[in-house]
Amino acid sequence: MSENETSEIQAREKAEVLTEDTRPGLLFKPDVDILEHPDAFVILADLPGASEESVDIHLEKGVLTLDARVAEPSGDRQTRYAEYREGGYHREFRISDDVDAAGVSAKMRDGVLELRLPKSPESRPRRIEVAAA
């Protein structure tokens, strides 16, 4: 690797949501990856500090809404230095008619939420057989 190429990892600030909200505390836009498989779309959302119980997902009128809260730390600990700011998460996605809304599922592991949005049978790619004439 040359001197011009670096392999350093750069810290990145969480993007704060700048819309009005009636909830107390900070609200952040979680980073996501959106993957497409032949049978489904998969959304991976980073929600560090959120538990499965604090995640709220709604799909209404073609809009998928994701909300999560991070609980305040309890106990007698005193923070001396922190780079991580606590708060809630909010993200919205417009969902096409190609998604089978009844089949949407979610699971959480190690602070990453995985939303699986299956494609409707009509929108899935299929192979068409050619018959002899």
Q: pLDDT higher for 45 or 86?
A: 45
More confident residue, 131 or 86: 131
pLDDT over 80 at 76, yes or no:
no
Kindly state the average pLDDT of the residues 20-40. Answer: 83
Residue 3: the pLDDT is: 47
Which of 41-50, 66-75, 114-123 is least confident? Answer: 66-75
Express as a percent the part of the chain with pLDDT over 70: 78
Q: If you write DSSP's letter for every residue of 27-59 in order, what string do you get? A: EEE--EEEEE-SSEEEEEEE-TTEEEEEEEEEE
Q: What is the DSSP string of 64-103?
A: EEEEEEEPPP-SS---S--SPPP-EEEEEEE--TTB-GGG
Domains and CATH numbers, the chain: 22-71+85-122 (2.60.40.790)
Q: Hey, is 124 helix, strand or coil? A: coil
Q: Is the pTM of this model over 0.85?
A: no
